Structure 1
Amino acid sequence: MDAKNDKAVELPVASKDNGIWGSDVLAEVLRGLGIKYVALNPGSSFRGLHDSLVNKLGNRDPQMLLCLHEEHAAAIAHGYAKVTSEPMAVIMHSNVGLMHGTMAIFNAWCDRVPMLIYGATGPVDAAMRRPWIDWLHTSRDQGSLIRNYVKWDDQPASMEAGIESMLRANMISRTAPTGPTYVNFDVSVQERQHKDLPTLPDYARYQPPLPAAPAMEGVERAAELLRNAKKPVVLAGRVSRNPKDWARRVALVEALNAEVLTDIRVGASFPTNHPQHRGKPAFFIDDAAGEVLRGADVIVSLDWLDLAGTLKLAREVEAKVIQASLDYQLHNGWGMEHQGLPPADVNLACAPDLAVHAIADALGVGAGTEPVDQPVLPALGAPAPETELDIMVLAGALGAGLEGECASIVRLPLGWAGESWHFRHPFDFLGSDGGAGIGSGPGMLIGASLGLKDKGRLPVAVLGDGDFMMAASAFWTAAHYETPFLAVVSNNRSFYNDEVHQERVAVSRNRPVENKWIGQRIGEPEIDIAGVARAQGIEGIGPVWTAGELVDAVKKGVALVKQGRPVVIDARVKPGYNPNMVAGLTRSE
């Protein structure tokens, strides 16, 4: 979607100058913060702010994105941030809308992405409340619903305080480690009329602080360890998508002759076809990765997700550990998304990419060569056309269908085999949703597609059928705002992850494994995925059952995407995970 394309923007009738309202000022601040989009599901608690976005700002800068559920709104903002590293605004209606959006907010928190969430409440002053509905939609402490998984929240009691809250929330959200913030506006603050427009802030003076450099003592100790290392290993985790950072990361690895492991949960962080890359991007390390870690004498963790758990799975790791992360700043004791406490011989309190640059400087390593956009590089050959689809065949057929295309893989399902695809650029793969729930995929695909629209890349996602169905109505927003992408639904007609768990319980209790499907299979009737997609106004193709059918469907889908259409393909796969995923789930217990 192009914000300059009037067909994709709902343009309001011109409004007369009819006074200054509190919400007009708040809307102007939102524009001043440089926010391009605001995703929302309408609600009366922010009717004043909604009016200001339309009639004061003309629905431009930011442009509203109408969503059919608050969870979709936050998921769209999440996907957008994963591409741009910039926050999108999200507005959620009072307590009820906020409760709808909580899972998607939790995802953004776990994934450490910036997001500006705004809410509203009925009048805090009880004398101003309308009977019934305002009482239902007013909470004494609305922010407490999500306080444990946002970086900061506030409920300003005046327009002036609201300006400051918006500035502070923006600074905090964008400061590493990034995350969502929440500001809740009293409806009476929005709807109060003012005689004069207040002096708006100089936004340049309220920017996030400059990134903190790592302590030189720590950099020198890390450099000395690596200088003397015989078998260094780099764990490339939650790093930036900046091509310059990618280039320096590769240059440092090559200079050290280090081995590298990557994680499929956090997106592309190192070229997986590089001679120094070991194992495969995975949810859990495999035996090959464990052997690499056991043989290491120095391990560099670049904000690796679950360092303690990885070392535990590897067993008998004796290496010195250099940790570069700011994530500890968000650990609050409510959730356990911080994972186990890892050992660290050198603990650099900085963003991982700053640590890479500092260590590379200390070792005299150059800038490296920035990656270039290239066509997709599947690691599996094209399967025979008549082959029935499973998760491995799907990967091979998808690669054949995308041959010659420069694509960004936005999402992959839990059962995906990391060895089936190569990532050679920071935008080749964007990672998972952070919170490991279901229902985020469609919204995140839409948001990522918005972020990718000027990058010349084809947005592609492989979604699970459960993920698709929980959030299928998100695709209406894509159709309405003409947001093109290709989504392949790996439709195994089951909540298969829980079949694996039920089988394990049955085996441990000596009960019939044959019953594992009950309460898990999505059938009788089977869902017409392509039909559901068409009902939202987008292209639906399928079902397809074989590799040849999927290759043809993908090629047809790509042609439609290039015409500006969002496309969903229903790929009917046999239930099952790749063998390494099942082994990883077993080892993780």
Structure 2
Amino acid sequence: MTEKRASDVELPVASQTDEVWGSDIFAEMLRGLGVKYVALNPGSSFRGLHDSLVNKLGNRDPQMLLCLHEEHAAAIAHGYAKVTGEPLAVILHSNVGLMHGSMAIFNAWCDRVPMLVYGATGPVDAAMRRPWIDWLHTCRDQGALIRNYVKWDDQPASMEAAIESMLRADVIARTAPTGPTYVNFDVSIQEKYHAEAPPLPDFARYQPPLPAEPSAEGVAHAADLLKNAKRPVVLAGRVSRDPADWARRVALVEALGAEVLTDIRIGASFPTDHPQHRGKPAFFIDDDAGEVLRQADVILSLDWLDPAGTLKLAGRVEAKVIQASLDYQLHNGWGMEHQALPALDIHLACTPDRATHAIADALGVGAGDAPADLPVCPALEAPAPDTSLDIMTLAGALGEGLDGVCASMVRLPLGWAGEAWHFRHPLDFLGSDGGAGIGSGPGMLIGAALALKDSDRLPVAVLGDGDFMMAASAFWTAAHYGVPFLAVVSNNQSFFNDEVHQERVAVARNRPVENKWIGQRIGDPDIDIAGIARAQGVEGIGPVATAGELVDAVKKGIAMVRQGKSVVIDARVRPGYNPNMVAGLTRSD
């Protein structure tokens, strides 16, 4: 069987014309910026650019990825960036496409991943608009729709300005702290004829700035505090996926004798089976992690997602706190994703990885050993074959099914227990979506799988049924372009997160807890998850309801993935979360 590859799909007939249009120059700019793929849902506002990508560039470098919804397009770019650290391009049709894609852009903003978002608008000059449709698809300030959650946006009014805007957007998106940028092209600029093409810039001269080094004084002070600490703790947060950074991080922790906490929202940042790792990766710290923080005398926060909230949950923490982060540069007055303001003793204004290297240098700590690509390491015993599935037995059965496989866990559901799995490499787990927007999982899985396609890693995701249903049509793109992965839908047939909240409200108001399911359960009729997957062109397996059935389904799915297939398994689980998750979601203090 010949594996389907994206490069074999949608091959255009060669164009014979040498004419130059404005959008041809935009397309050449995308190629010069090194963009490999452009995820889009077609729209008339960028019909010129669409033509140029096909007939000027031959649909290669970049290649278009046709999506059935704009939110999927942005989610695919998000998942790709989480693996590679590099942005994909997303093109959104006018105001309506931008509104569709805005949730996924918000996720990327909260997750601090780079993304190049391009838009288009009907002619700004009202005299050039077609009746009705151009008026609907033209905004006076289209970027205002997302300005509060992109790093920069522009609507250039000339070709010269557009070239500069594309360069600036690329540099800003890829400069730490990374994030999405947005450039909006007037359709009249795209469709303007040029007698000759303007010269393209020297792209090598438009690169992100070199990483900022932390203050030498701050590094010396931080190194001294850590060296003399009796109970140092490292909060391993939003760090890079570079294996060299990972190795140095581990070496520094070992040299300090520090204890380490990790966060399941942001992906693998430290080996969770390391003897100095404490607690478990979680959305909210548990009692064990809280005790570690209360006993600490120095805490090093490596761009931890919410240091103030974490220390508040821990209780009385008297440690000196060192923060390495540039995140403050993205904080604005619109959103609160920056979390509470932490009290800090030293703030190193640099990426957490630059801080790690600088402190390690100051302490004479070596480079450490690079992490190996190892088979999955589930921490739970495999359940008996006839055991019915819940969130814990699903994890155990999935681990048995993946035995011996080197996999990247792209997504895990809200109720997943952090103690169920060990992460020993920066690509073992990629984290959540950043903005907690349901419907992001399928697109992010496809983007990550696209980035991992030529690696030895098998992309795996455990998705919720609500997440799957909001974005099921994203899987058509995976089938169309031959993007293999294994998705297990943890199907509790409910928006169970809100059942937990309704139970808490009912208890507080002395009302019947038995009614918590109303308006939450996804049943009567049941949804055929596997059937919906097959309708998109991917392989659908299930439903399965026992551990043994899931193990068999996973092994069957792996064989299909090895043949280049995209596979979805419908795993019927009893509603429920791990206890720490329930406590964190419903706490009122």
- Provide TM-score, normalisation by structure 1: 0.99
Contact kept? 2:412, 2:461, Cα under 8 Å: yes
Question: Cα deviation per residue 1:487-542 (whole Å; 9 max; x = unaligned)?
Answer: 00000000000000000000000000000000000000010000000000000000
Cα gap change, 1:396 to 1:106, in 2 (>3 Å): same
Match of 1:554 in 2: 554
Indicate if the aligned counterparts of 1:78 and 1:113 stay in contact, CA closer than 8 A. yes
Q: Distance in 2 between matches of 1:287 and 1:5?
A: 48
Residue segments in structure 2 that go unaligned for 5+ positions in a row: none
What is the CA distance between 1:585 and its match in structure 2? 2.3
How far apart in 1 are the matches of 2:430 and 2:193? 45
Amino acid at match of 1:365: V
Q: After alignment, is 156-165 or 288-297 more displaced? A: 156-165
Please tell me the residue identity of whatever aligns with 2:167: L
1:9 aligns with 2:9: yes
Q: Which moved more, 1:320-329 or 1:447-456?
A: 447-456
In the alignment, what sits opposite 1:41? Answer: 41
> What is the distance in 1 between the residues matched to 2:30 and 2:543?
44
Cα deviation, residue 173, structure 1: 0.1
Counterpart Cα distance in 1 of 2:4 and 2:438: 34
Is the 1:8–1:482 Cα contact (8 Å) retained in structure 2? Answer: no
Cα separation, 1, equivalents of 2:438 and 2:4: 34
Tell me the distance in 2 between the aligned counterparts of 1:552 and 1:6. 29
Give ranges in structure 1 of 5+ residues lacking alignment.
none
**8 Å contact from structure 2 (residues 233, 300) kept in 1:** yes
Q: CA deviation at 1:7?
A: 6.3
- 1:416-435 Cα distance to aligned partner (Å, 9 max, x none): 00000000000000000000
Shift of 1:5: 4.6
Looking at structure 2, the residues matched to 381 and 423 of structure 1 have their Cα atoms a distance apart, in angstroms, of: 16
Alignment partner, residue 144 of structure 2: 144
Q: Is the 8 A contact 1:3 1:9 kept in 2?
A: no
Q: Specify the alignment match of 1:124 in structure 2.
A: 124
How is 1:409-428 mapped onto 2 (pairs within 5 angstroms)? 409-428=409-428
Kindly indicate whether the alpha-carbon contact (under 8 Å) linking 1:323 and 1:347 is maintained by their aligned counterparts in 2. yes
**Any conservation in 2 of the 1:392–1:416 contact (CA below 8 Å)?**
yes
Give, as a single letter, the amino acid of the residue that structure 2 aligns with 1:225.
L
Q: Which residue of 2 aligns with 1:492?
A: 492
Which residue in 2 is equivalent to 1:212?
Answer: 212
Secondary structure of residue in 1 paired with 2:79: helix
Q: Does 1:457 align with 2:457?
A: yes
2: CA distance, partners of 1:228 / 1:406: 39
Q: How far does the alpha carbon of each residue in 1:460-488 deviate from its partner, in whole angstroms, 9 at most, with x for none? A: 00000000000000000000001000000
Is 1:472 the counterpart of 2:472? The answer is: yes
In the other structure, the counterpart of 1:325 is: 325
Relative to structure 1, is the Cα distance of residues 3 and 215 closer, same or farther in structure 2, using a 3 angstrom cutoff?
farther
Which residue of 2 is the match for residue 181 of structure 1?
A: 181
Q: 2-side partners of 1:162 and 1:341: how far apart? A: 38
SS of the equivalent of 1:342 reads coil
Superposed CA RMSD: 1.1
Within 5 Å, which residues of 2 pair with 1:245-256? 245-256=245-256
Q: Which residue is equivalent to 2:289?
A: 289
Higher mean alpha-carbon deviation, 6-15 vs 309-318, is at 6-15
Once residues 456 and 126 of structure 1 are traced to their aligned partners in structure 2, the CA distance between those partners, rounded to angstroms, is: 54
1:68-126: CA deviation from partner (whole Å, max 9, x where unpaired): 00000000000000000000000000000000001000000000000000000000000
- Contact 1:460–1:485 (Cα < 8 Å) also in 2: yes
Which residue does the alignment assign to 2:572? 572
C-alpha change, 1:276 and 1:439, in structure 2 (3 Å) is same
Q: Matched residues in 1 for 2:135 and 2:470: separation? A: 30
Query: How much identity, in percent, do the aligned residues show?
Result: 84
Equivalent residue number for residue 584 of structure 2: 584
Q: Does 1:95 align with 2:89?
A: no
Equivalent position of 1:259 in the other structure: 259
2:75 matched to which residue of 1? 75
Distance 1:258 1:320 in 2: 14
Offset of residue 8 of structure 1: 3.4
SS in 2 for 1:340: coil
Equivalent position SS for 1:54 = helix
Write the distance in 1 (CA, Å) between the matches of 2:18 and 2:50: 16
Letter in structure 1 aligned against 2:72: H
Q: Is the 8 A contact 2:5 2:483 kept in 1?
A: no
**Residue identity matched to 1:414:** L
Tell me if the contact between 1:301 and 1:321 (Cα under 8 Å) persists in the aligned partners. yes
Say which SS state the counterpart of residue 564 (structure 2) adopts.
coil
Amino acid at match of 2:441: G
Q: Report Cα offsets for 1:182-212 as digits up to 9, x if no partner.
A: 0000000000000111010000000011010
State the Cα distance separating 1:584 from its structure 2 match. 2.4
- How many Å separate the matches in 2 of 1:226 and 1:458? 39
The CA distance in 1 between the partners of 2:3 and 2:434, in whole Å, is: 29
* Aligned AA (2:191): E
Measured after TM superposition, the shift of residue 578 of structure 1 is 1.1
SS in 1 for 2:501: helix
State the 1:16 CA deviation: 1.1
Question: In the aligned structure 1, how far is the partner of 2:437 from the partner of 2:108?
Answer: 12
Q: Which residue of 2 aligns with 1:406?
A: 406
Whether contact under 8 Å (1:284, 1:588) holds in the other structure is no
Counterpart-to-counterpart distance in 1, 2:117 and 2:544: 40
Residue type matched to 2:571 in 1? Answer: A
Q: What is aligned with 2:169?
A: 169
> In 2, Cα distance between the equivalents of 1:233 and 1:13?
60
Aligned partner of residue 469 in structure 2, secondary structure: helix
- Counterpart amino acid of residue 382 in structure 1: A
- Name the residue aligned to 1:29: 29
